[in-house]
């Protein structure tokens, strides 16, 4: 494992907190894009030897999580002409605090699980759990469809970090399949966002509330 | 051969994308279904279904049972497609037809994949090919339903991936040279790291439980089933949820093999009862009969989880129930779609006297109601009775009592809605009957006959396939006892 591996994980966790604390959609998307690039860098530094497959997975991660999806989201943002998240269900400071608490809990939880020797000294599992939790917080407390997609993306990033611990065990084909599925999922979500904005003149999912029990 | 049965529907789907005529394109769906069913029948009756691609694709006893079931369920549904789309000539159907064909390919891939990662990719693909199906009506309500389905479903599937990684970590931690093939995982299960295995099962249960629609992860279901065309509801409630159950059962199998079957059983039993209770509450006074069917699906998924939670004979009953439920949901959703079309309303405010305006659909809807609430002589009566017998035999008296009480509540709640839909005088000035094309009636009738036959007579080969599949899941289980 490379010496910049853990610092990269710290960067990812700081980006988590940044996403929780900001209201500008542009910054939120940018942060998720940076996370994607960091994940690519993590992939090549995760294990000692560099095989062609590892490099390919890293490139695919950067291309999809760092470039393609953020572009799609930027385009969606421009199309629907919104800049900011409005009144999240939980304020920015409380959600920051929740994120920090979640990070602490993630560290404690991963202490209780038996780890492989290589992961014991590293932040890989705590940062994975913390990132998944951050994704959850964003998904459940934000109301713009685009922010929710970013939440889903961050959740996936957390899972990807966990996948890095399994780089030797996970076959190449599966890694690429997962990335491709993620891309298609976000692509379909992008189409739906577009339709939402056309139908409702807004991407506030609070408007999506005609379907419920009376 | 296994690969062929997955590729063939995809190929037909691509043809559907290329065909220019919206009038003839819908016929490609039954054509694809016939090809799929024929190939499946060849695989199930000969030994051509050998493992392929280094064991990534293989059919165990569970896979064989579900492949047969999916092929039949999809085949019957597929014949509804041309009749349905002929009534909706104004809507573009290119993507709809292609997505239907991709869906059966993805569902087949789920039951045929024996690799942890491949199965996940297949489940995700099946979810994505469903999204355009739910959005078919292209109105704000179906948009909302599609968004919720996509987002909640994607998070569920993401959690399932997380859980799969936990399981892989359990294997790596134990120092196993794991290939992540289910055969290897089951073989090495006793040596897997316990804390990781337990956390993996919980996360997987939440993840795949979301796809199955077990309460409290069921919230996408009423919206998606309520807004999607009836045909799509039938495929989702019958086929796709069964695929998700197949995925979950593979992890139940690993738990059993690791000697932790009791943990899996207790969790499933609890979720099963919660699902049935939530469904019972929301079905009472439900005015929207398509949402009612969605809650009925939550209830039946709960019954299946309950049966697997009992174990032994209960698992046998649960698998039989899975098949029965798939066919009964076919009757209900297809006829509900017909009634919805005839009245232009899917609530009891705008619908009454279905038996007068659309006699065939109305009668089938009523018969389907009796089937789905497990009245004799329909198949669901038999499978629920089997689960109950297993529950009493293993000393789960309290659980069995709650099970019976919830079934009774559901019967009353559902019954009052169904009666209001079927009986009475049709509203509005229009009197007389609405024309019912044969192709929109015959598939529902076919499903009803299937579920009736299964209630009267379970053929030997089917009961052997069921007990093989149940035994396959519970490899290392103490036969059906209380933990």
The pLDDT, as a whole number, for residue B431 is 64
DSSP-based three-state secondary structure for B181 = strand
Question: Which of A108, A112, A160, A185 to mutate to test binding with chain B, by most B CBs within 10 Å of its CB?
Answer: A185
| Residue carrying structure tokens 């790291």 | B193
Q: Is the pLDDT of residue A202 over 80?
A: no
Closest residue of chain A to B147, computed from CA coordinates: A192
B176 reaches A (C-beta below 8 A): no
The pTM score is 0.91
Whether residues A170 and B115 touch (CB distance < 8 A) is answered with no
Partner residue facing A174 (CB), from B117, B140, B146: B117
A163–chain B nearest CA distance, Å: 6
Q: Whole-angstrom Cα distance, residue B33 to residue B102? A: 11
Closest residue of chain A to B135, computed from CA coordinates: A192
Q: Whole-angstrom Cα distance, residue A150 to residue B45? A: 48
Q: Bridge-partner residues for B426, per DSSP? A: none
In Å, what is the CA distance from B46 to each residue of B62, B64, B181, B188, B458?
A: 17, 12, 24, 30, 22
Whether residues B118 and A177 touch (CB distance < 8 A) is answered with yes
* Chain A residues inside the 8 Å CB shell of B155: 139, 152, 155
Tokens for B398?
């309290």
Whether residues B173 and A114 touch (CB distance < 8 A) is answered with yes
Q: Whole-angstrom Cα distance, residue B387 to residue B311? A: 9
Whether residues A148 and B169 touch (CB distance < 8 A) is answered with no
Partner residue facing A200 (CB), from B138, B140, B172: B140
Q: What is the number of other CB atoms lying within 10 angstroms of the CB of residue A213?
A: 12
End-to-end CA distance of chain B: 41
Closest residue of chain A to B132, computed from CA coordinates: A188
Q: Whole-angstrom Cα distance, residue A198 to residue A188? A: 16
* Chain B residues inside the 8 Å CB shell of A171: 117, 180
Q: State the complex-level ipTM.
A: 0.89
How buried is B202 (Cβ within 10 angstroms: 0-12 exposed, 13-18 middle, 19+ buried)? Answer: middle
Length of chain A in terms of residues written: 214
The pLDDT, as a whole number, for residue A173 is 64
Q: Are B283 and B414 in contact (CB under 8 A)?
A: yes
Residues 111 through 150 of chain A touching chain B, CB cutoff 8 Å = 112-116, 132, 139, 145, 148
DSSP-based three-state secondary structure for B52 = strand
Whether residues B165 and A199 touch (CB distance < 8 A) is answered with no
Tokens for A78?
């421009």
A161 reaches B (C-beta below 8 A): no
Q: Could you give the maximum distance between any two Cα atoms of chain B, in Å?
A: 74
B161 reaches A (C-beta below 8 A): yes
Q: Is the pLDDT of residue A1 over 70?
A: no
B144 reaches A (C-beta below 8 A): yes
Q: Whole-angstrom Cα distance, residue B119 to residue A189? A: 22
Per-residue pLDDT of chain B (483 residues; tens, 9 = 90+): 888 899 999 999 999 998 888 888 999 999 999 999 999 999 888 877 778 777 788 888 899 999 999 999 999 999 999 999 988 888 888 899 999 999 999 999 999 998 888 898 899 899 889 988 998 888 888 888 888 898 899 899 999 999 998 988 888 888 777 678 888 888 888 888 888 899 999 999 999 999 999 988 888 999 999 999 999 999 999 999 999 999 999 999 999 888 888 889 999 999 999 999 999 999 988 889 999 999 999 999 999 999 999 988 999 999 999 999 999 999 999 999 999 988 888 888 888 888 888 989 999 999 999 999 998 889 999 999 999 999 999 999 999 999 999 999 999 999 999 999 998 888 876 667 888 888 889 999 999 999 999 999 889 999 999 999 998 888 754 333 333
B143–chain A nearest CA distance, Å: 7
């Amino acid at each position: 494992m490379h010496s910049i591996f853990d610092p990269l994980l710290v960067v990812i966790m700081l980006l988590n907190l940044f996403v929780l604390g900001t209201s500008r959609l542009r910054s939120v998307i940018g942060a998720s894009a940076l996370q994607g690039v960091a994940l690519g860098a993590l992939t090549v530094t995760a294990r000692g030897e560099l095989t062609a497959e590892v490099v390919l997975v890293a490139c695919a991660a950067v291309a999809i999580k760092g470039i393609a999806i953020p572009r799609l989201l930027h385009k969606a943002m421009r199309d629907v002409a919104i800049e900011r998240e409005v009144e999240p269900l939980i304020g920015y400071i409380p959600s920051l605090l929740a994120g920090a608490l979640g990070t602490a809990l993630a560290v404690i939880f991963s202490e209780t699980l038996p780890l492989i020797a290589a992961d014991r000294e590293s932040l890989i599992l705590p940062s994975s759990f913390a990132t998944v939790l951050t994704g959850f917080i964003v998904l459940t407390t934000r109301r713009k469809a685009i922010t929710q997609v970013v939440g889903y993306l961050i959740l996936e990033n957390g899972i990807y970090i966990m996948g890095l611990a399994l780089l030797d065990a996970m076959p190449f084909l599966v890694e690429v399949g997962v990335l491709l599925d993620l891309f298609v999922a976000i692509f379909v979500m992008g189409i739906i966002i577009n339709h939402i904005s056309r139908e409702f003149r807004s991407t506030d999912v609070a408007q999506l509330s005609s379907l419920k029990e009376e | 051969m296994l690969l062929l049965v997955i590729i063939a529907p995809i190929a037909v789907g691509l043809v559907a994308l290329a065909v220019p005529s919206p009038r003839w394109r819908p016929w490609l769906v039954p054509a694809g279904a016939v090809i799929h069913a024929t190939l499946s029948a060849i695989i199930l009756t000969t030994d051509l279904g050998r493992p392929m691609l280094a064991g990534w694709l293989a059919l165990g006893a569970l896979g064989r049972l579900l492949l047969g079931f999916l092929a039949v369920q999809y085949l019957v549904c597929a014949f509804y497609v041309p009749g349905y789309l002929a009534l909706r000539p104004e809507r573009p159907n290119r993507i709809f037809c292609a997505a239907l064909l991709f869906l059966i390919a993805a569902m087949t891939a789920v039951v045929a994949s024996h690799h942890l990662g491949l199965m996940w990719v297949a489940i995700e693909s099946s979810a994505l090919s469903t999204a355009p199906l739910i959005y078919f009506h292209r109105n704000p309500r179906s948009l909302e339903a599609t968004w919720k389905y996509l987002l909640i479903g994607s998070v569920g599937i993401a959690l399932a991936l997380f859980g799969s990684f936990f399981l892989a970590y359990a294997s790596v931690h134990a120092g196993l040279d794991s290939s992540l093939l289910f055969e290897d995982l089951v073989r090495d299960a006793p040596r897997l790291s316990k804390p990781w295995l337990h956390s993996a099962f919980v996360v997987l249960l939440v993840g795949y439980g979301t796809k199955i629609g077990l309460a409290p992860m069921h919230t996408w279901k009423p919206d998606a089933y309520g807004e999607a065309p009836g045909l799509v509801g039938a495929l989702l409630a019958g086929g796709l949820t069964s695929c998700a159950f197949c995925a979950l059962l593979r992890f139940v199998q690993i738990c059993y093999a690791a000697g932790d079957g009791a943990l899996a059983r207790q969790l499933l039993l609890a979720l099963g009862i919660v699902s049935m209770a939530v469904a019972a509450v929301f079905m009472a006074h439900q005015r929207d009969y398509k949402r009612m069917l969605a809650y009925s699906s939550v209830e039946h998924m709960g019954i299946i989880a309950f049966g697997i939670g009992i174990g032994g004979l209960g698992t046998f009953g649960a698998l039989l129930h899975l098949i029965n439920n798939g066919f009964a949901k076919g009757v209900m959703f297809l006829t509900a779609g017909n009634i919805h079309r005839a009245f232009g309303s899917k609530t009891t405010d705008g619908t009454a006297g279905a038996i007068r305006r659309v006699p065939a659909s109305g009668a089938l809807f009523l018969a389907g109601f009796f089937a789905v609430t497990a009245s004799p002589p329909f198949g669901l009566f038999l499978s629920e009775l089997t689960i109950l017998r297993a529950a009493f035999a293993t000393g789960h008296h309290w659980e069995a009592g709650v099970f019976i009480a919830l079934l009774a509540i559901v019967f009353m709640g559902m019954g009052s809605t169904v009666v209001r839909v079927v009986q009475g005088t049709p509203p509005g000035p229009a009197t007389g009957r609405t024309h019912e094309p044969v192709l929109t009636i015959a598939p529902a009738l076919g499903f009803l006959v299937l579920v009736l036959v299964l209630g009267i007579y379970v053929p030997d080969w089917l009961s052997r396939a069921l007990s093989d599949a149940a035994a396959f899941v519970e490899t290392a289980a103490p036969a059906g006892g209380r933990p």
